[in-house]
Amino acid sequence: MSRTIPARRGRPAAAPLPQRKNSLSLRLKRISRAWQLYVLLTPAIIYILVFKYWPMYGVQIAFKNYNPVDGFTDSPWVGLTHFIRFMNSYQFGQVVGNTLWIAVLGLLVAFPIPIILALLVNQLQSERFKKFTQTVLYSPAFISTVVVVGIMFVVLSPRSGLVNNAIQLGGGEPIFFMGSAEWFRPIYVISDVWQNAGFSMIVYLAALAAIDPALHDAAKVDGASKLQRIRHIDLPGIMPVVTILFILAIGNLLNVGFEKALLMQTPLNLSTSEIIQTYVYHAGLQQAQFSYSAAIGLFNSLLNLALLLFFNTVARRANQATLW
């Protein structure tokens, strides 16, 4: 990338200190001099302690029988009981399978499309058409999940929906999309692309804009076609951003889309639409099985973390950009 990333500045070379006592008092002095910075940081720290680390501490209830009187700390330990119960339950295979299905399908379909769109938009000659395309394609990102699912229900309605009207016009039978288990996954992924592809494209466009135009000029001089320039200049140029976003997408693989899946659920499509997190919601918050559902949630988090570590290692082996 042409934009030079400033050389990583290490710690400012500390002057070698003759005595230990000196260094300690120096450090204390530096800390006390920065007290106003700590004050600025305090609200954010309190926030993560209360809303991130306290729940993390509470994860121990996955190994306990939680009751409100004893709280997180004093509820009795039961070991792996809840995990074993989950793994032996008839939903286990289905729920984990459904989760992996939409996660992997979403990644395979929804991840490459914004990259392709960005490469195409970047090649447009007219600045105005470029801008117009960007604005239109990313506008659905500002529509709420609730409304997007609402749109699905009306547009796909078997009685009066746009899509079924078109099917009937072509002589087909109307399909009850939202009430069919086979259609849940396609609708889920297509709507994901419809809503988010344009917004994800922006990051890639920013990365493309950072590529040195001299490279393109030089390639043109050599008579490279547009496709060749995309293949040999644009793609390698945005590869670091692609890799990092891919790893981040993996890191979120099992967390995304939970709200949409929950909204899209109807009693008729549960066999494909019940994913780990909606199951946690139903078992935990609707049936108040706190410990059992916390265990399932923890299972989900650990699976996710394992995927993230795995792909980060793969990226490092392949000498690509990594998160750390």
Partner 1 sequence: MSLTTNPRTTENRNRPLSQVRPKPSLRDKYGDRAFNIAATTVLLLSILAVVFPLYFIVIASISDPNAVYEGKVWLFPSGMTTEGYERIFADSRIWNGLGNTVIYTVIGTAVSVSTILCGAYALSRKDMPGRKILMLLFVITMFFDGGLITKYLVVRDLGMLDTVWAVVLPGAVGVWNLIIARSFFEHTIPNELREAAQMDGATDFKFFFKMVLPLSKPLIMLMIMIHVVAQWNSFFDALIFLNDDSKYPLQLVLRNILIQSDVSSTGTTGGDIESYAAAQRIAELTKYAMIVVSSLPLMIALPFMQKHFTKGAMIGAVK
- Any contact of residue 8 with partner 1 (CB under 8 A)? no
Work out which of 177, 188, 290, 311 binds partner 1, going by CB under 8 A: 290
- Give the tokens for residue 210: 């950072």
Comparison of 196 and 272: residue with beta carbon closer to partner 1: 196
Residue 64 backbone phi and psi in degrees, to 5: -130, 175
How far apart, in whole angstroms, are the C-alpha atoms of residue 254 and residue 100? 8
What element of type H or E holds 182? helix 181-209
Q: Which of 22, 25, 67, 160 binds partner 1 (CB under 8 A)?
A: 160
Cα 245 to Cα 131, 177, 224, distances in angstroms = 23, 32, 29
Q: Please give the backbone phi and psi of residue 257, each rounded to the nearest 5 degrees, phi first.
A: 75, 5
Shortest spacing between CB 157 and partner 1, in angstroms: 7
Interface residues for partner 1 in 10-29 (CB under 8 A)?
12, 27
- The minimum distance between CB 180 and partner 1, in angstroms, equals 16
* Length of the chain (residues): 324
Q: Which residue has the tokens 């609200």?
A: 43
Supply the minimum distance, in Å, between the C-beta of residue 182 and partner 1: 20
* Cα→Cα distances 39→25, 42, 49, 304, Å: 21, 5, 15, 34
Amino acid at 290: F
By C-beta, is 185 or 229 nearer to partner 1? 229
Q: Which DSSP letter does residue 77 get? A: B
Query: Residues 198 to 217: which contact partner 1 by CB under 8 A?
Result: 198, 202-203, 205-207, 209-212, 215
Q: Are 81 and 62 in contact (CB under 8 A)?
A: no
Nearest 5°: phi and psi at 77? -70, 140
Q: Mask of contacts with partner 1, 117-156, x by CB under 8 A?
A: x--xx-xxx-------xxxxxxxx-xxxxxx-xxx-xxx-
Binding of partner 1 by 179 (CB under 8 A): no
Using CB under 8 A as the binding rule, whether residue 162 contacts partner 1 is answered as yes
Work out whether 109 is an interface residue with partner 1 (CB under 8 A): no
Residue among 23, 24, 25, 40 that touches partner 1 (CB under 8 A): 40
Q: For partner 1, which residue of 17, 24, 48, 80 counts as binding (CB under 8 A)?
A: 48
As beta bridge partners, residue 77 has 64
Cβ distance to partner 1 smaller for residue 210 or 268:
210
Task: Please select the residue that binds partner 1; options are 83, 259, 270, 303, rule is CB under 8 A.
Answer: 259
**DSSP class of residue 8?**
P
Q: Is 301 an interacting residue with respect to partner 1 (CB under 8 A)?
A: yes
Q: Does 310 bind partner 1 (CB under 8 A)?
A: no
| Site for partner 1, residues 237 to 256, rule: CB under 8 A | 237, 240-241, 251
